């Protein structure tokens, strides 16, 4: 009896759950509870942390989870580490449904940086108009460069004062479109875009818009994931679940 648990929060996770439901497979998708209203999913969902490795291991035992699919975002590296450890503890088969990093193409003006602190350092210098499209959780790290105008895109309206003095907030969740991101960057006269190398399609529009406008992009490399089996498409995950 397969009873998979999908760690979600990405476009691919949602696509996997739709395919599982269409294939008549049961399962559960899990969210951390980062945003007010996670998008409706075609499988039953649970929201909230598990309580570290032991909490996840206990959840796996209590719910007789037969397989774990880690379909979290490439920057959700703590969750991915916990999944590897909890599956080792409980002997649960694990795969990661991941997407390749974006690669620069002709016309791109990317400056690759190792992590968020390096992206902050890359913004040292004279005031610019920055599209800071890295979400909410790491905004405070950019406070050392208050001289810029920041266009911020958040999933939910800010619940606390923002750590930056000169901002314009757009409340929107992806997937985003090229036309909308072009209009947004033109409307705010953006000079530079800051992006995580999320990969996938949901967040890619801003890169295509930057290319069309000839804007530089500060591209933040993803943290190294733990060692685990990785699958890059939904069909192969369904096949893995069936065997
Ligand atoms: C809660 C669950 C789906 C999933 C859609 C993908 C695409 C649209 C683009 C920009 C970049 C950013 C952010 C982003 C994208 C997809 C995917 C993706 C980037 C939701 C969702 C949850 C989250 C959490 C949220 C983070 C934030 C990051 C916004 C659902 C909508 C910036 C990542 O306010 C907060 O606390 C937000 C936190 C983690 C990163 C951060 O540091 O703030 N995602 N995003 C998940 C949970 O609770 O477990 O409601 O759908 C999911 C999606 N967001 O089903 O189609 O697959 O990547 N998410 C980044 O890439 O830099 C926006 O603005 O251009
Ligand atoms: P993280 O830093 O790797 O994880 C921190 C803690 O959050 C985990 O230890 C776990 O808590 C809890 N958690 C994370 N993902 C969870 C999930 N899917 N279900 C249940 N608990 C989860 O994670 P994050 O970067 O904050 O990402 C949180 C969620 O947002 C994930 O679903 C991820 O896919 C999604 N997301 C993140 C980004 C991003 O840029 N980071 C972008 C798009 C979507 P416990 O230790 O208590 O179990």
146 and 180 in a common domain: yes
CATH of the domain at 183: 3.40.50.720
Query: What is the C-alpha separation between 48 and 33, in angstroms, rounded?
Result: 5
- Does some domain include residue 183? yes
125 and 50 in a common domain: no
129 and 215 in a common domain: yes
237 and 191 in a common domain: no
3-state SS, residue 151: strand
Q: What is the pLDDT of residue 5?
A: 98
Cα 32 to averaged position of ligand 2 atoms, centre (Å): 5
- Does some domain include residue 104? no
Tokens 């909490």 correspond to: 55
189 and 94 in a common domain: no
Q: What is the pTM of this model?
A: 0.96
Intervals of the chain under pLDDT 70 = none
186 and 126 in a common domain: yes
Share of the chain above pLDDT 90, in %: 96
Alpha carbon dihedral 129, 75, 222, 184, in 10-degree steps, equals -30
Under DSSP, the state recorded for 43 is S
Under DSSP, the state recorded for 174 is S
Q: What is the pLDDT of residue 1?
A: 78
Q: What is the pLDDT of residue 50?
A: 98
Task: Answer yes or no: is the C-beta of 76 below 6 A from any ligand 2 atom.
Answer: yes
Ligand closest in space to the Cα of 12: 1
Number of domains in the chain: 2
- Does some domain include residue 184? yes
Task: Answer yes or no: is the C-beta of 73 below 6 A from any ligand 1 atom.
Answer: yes
With a CB cutoff of 8 Å and minimum separation 6, the contacts of 185 are 131, 151, 193, 206, 209, 210, 213, 215
115 and 200 in a common domain: yes
The runs of H, that is alpha helices, within the chain are 11-22, 52-62, 77-90, 116-122, 178-187, 205-213, 234-242
Instruction: Please give the residue range of the domain that contains residue 44.
Output: 5-99+224-242
To 10 degrees, what angle do helices 178-187 and 205-213 make?
50
Task: Answer yes or no: is the C-beta of 34 below 6 A from any ligand 2 atom.
Answer: yes
Task: Answer yes or no: is the C-beta of 81 below 6 A from any ligand 1 atom.
Answer: no
């Amino acid at each position: 009896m397969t009873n998979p648990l999908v760690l979600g929060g990405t476009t691919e996770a949602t696509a996997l759950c739709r395919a599982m439901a269409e294939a008549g497979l049961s399962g559960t998708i899990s969210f951390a509870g980062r945003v007010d209203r996670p998008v409706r999913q075609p499988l039953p969902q649970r929201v909230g942390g598990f309580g570290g490795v032991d909490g996840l291991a206990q959840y796996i035992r209590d719910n007789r989870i037969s397989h774990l699919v880690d379909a979290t975002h490439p920057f959700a590296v703590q969750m991915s580490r916990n999944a590897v450890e909890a599956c080792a503890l409980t002997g649960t088969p694990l795969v990661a449904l991941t997407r390749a990093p974006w690669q620069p193409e002709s016309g791109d003006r990317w400056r690759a940086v190792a992590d968020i602190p390096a992206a902050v350092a890359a913004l040292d210098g004279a005031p610019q108009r920055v599209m800071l499209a890295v979400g909410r959780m790491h905004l405070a790290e950019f406070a050392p460069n208050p001289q810029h105008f920041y266009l911020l895109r958040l999933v939910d309206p800010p619940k606390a004062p923002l750590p930056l003095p000169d901002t314009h907030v757009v409340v929107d969740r992806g997937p985003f479109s090229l036309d909308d991101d072009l209009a947004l960057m033109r409307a705010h006269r953006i000079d530079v875009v800051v992006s995580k190398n999320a990969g996938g399609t949901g967040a890619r529009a801003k890169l295509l818009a930057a290319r069309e406008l000839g804007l530089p992009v500060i591209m933040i490399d993803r943290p190294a994931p733990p060692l685990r089996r990785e699958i890059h498409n939904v069909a192969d995950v369904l096949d893995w679940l069936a065997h």
